[in-house]
Amino acid sequence: MLRSILFILFLGSCFFLMAGPGLFDPAKAADGQNKDLPVFDTHVHYKEPAWSVYPPDVIIEMMERAGVVKALVSSSPDEGTRMLYRQDPERIIPFLRPYHDEVTSSNWHQQEEIIDYFKKRLEMPIYKGLGEFHIHNPIDADSPVIKKTVKLAVERDLYIHVHSNHRAVEQIFAYEPQVKILWAHAGMSDPPAVVADMFERFENLWVDISIREYEIAPNGILAPEWQKLFLEHSDRITIGSDTWVNGQWDNYEEIIAFDRHWLAQLPPEVAKQIAFDNAKRLFIDGT
Ligand SMILES: [Zn+2]
């Protein structure tokens, strides 16, 4: 008798947990079923304006509180990445970004000397990739500097983390099919159907969906077209916070809590792949 009462109570609490989400409330999401899911944040920047406001030990504490156990970090300048890596080499997976001093997202592809800059910084053998870098105009994917960058990545077995639309990605794969691309923000404005088409055409393509969270789950409810992409290509997708300005650090725990909230609307094994396993396979196991 006692056993069946307990069973009924158990069923009741399951139903309560599974009841559909209303408008998003980060506090509730943090109490939700995914709060213990480990997260690999694949789009972190630790730019100079953040250094004094959020020193490295504070950043690591914020990650710890958010359940972010691994983080792919690239910074402008690169010293930010090294500072975080020194603070917590187990957690931080460094990528090397071209931007520093006068080298910016708009002009880096015209700077021949950036290849020597990459080679010099790569002498410290901590980097898993080049980027995140921008290709604002797809035609620039064919510039000599970007071609050399892609070639260097292939030679050194590094990923490239590319912020561009799908045309630039197509151009890069046209001249270097071997390169491994983490496509930032899943193209930022490319719809899920275009992302799916790109996955089918290019086997060395993965995406992070940072900055697209609120399109993925408007009012906290997972959109059907994104759900379809996640279910059909669950091995190609990662999540990220994109701390490109301090405002993103101000909201860091809420951003990760929101990701947990929509991930909880997917089958648990798919949520786990997207939250952690895919990035671990790529950037830690190297398989
Ligand atoms: Zn970014």
Nearest to residue 128, comparing CAs of 284, 248, 250? 284
Bridge partners (DSSP) listed for residue 239: 41
Q: Walk me through the domains of the chain, giving residue ranges and CATH numbers.
A: 24-285 (3.20.20.140)
**Reduced to 3 states, what is the DSSP secondary structure of residue 258?**
helix
Cβ count within 10 A of residue 51:
15
Q: Give the C-alpha separation, 192 to 216, whole Å.
A: 9
What was the pLDDT predicted at 277? 98
Tokens of 21: 């989400």
What was the pLDDT predicted at 183? 98
Average pLDDT over residues 180-196: 97
Q: Ligand 1 centre and the CA of 94: distance in Å?
A: 14
Instruction: Determine contact, residues 283/46, Cβ cutoff 8 Å.
Output: no
Q: Ligand 1 centre and the CA of 162: distance in Å?
A: 9
Average pLDDT over residues 211-238: 97
Q: Say if residue 222's pLDDT is above 90.
A: yes
Predicted confidence band of residue 14 (pLDDT cuts 50, 70, 90): very low
Angle between helical axes of 56-66 and 79-87 (0-180°, round to 10): 60
Average pLDDT, the chain: 91
Predicted confidence band of residue 25 (pLDDT cuts 50, 70, 90): low
Q: How many residues does the chain have?
A: 287
Q: Ligand 1 centre and the CA of 234: distance in Å?
A: 22
Note the pLDDT tens digit of each residue in 126-151. Answer: 999 999 999 999 999 999 999 999 99
What was the pLDDT predicted at 156? 98
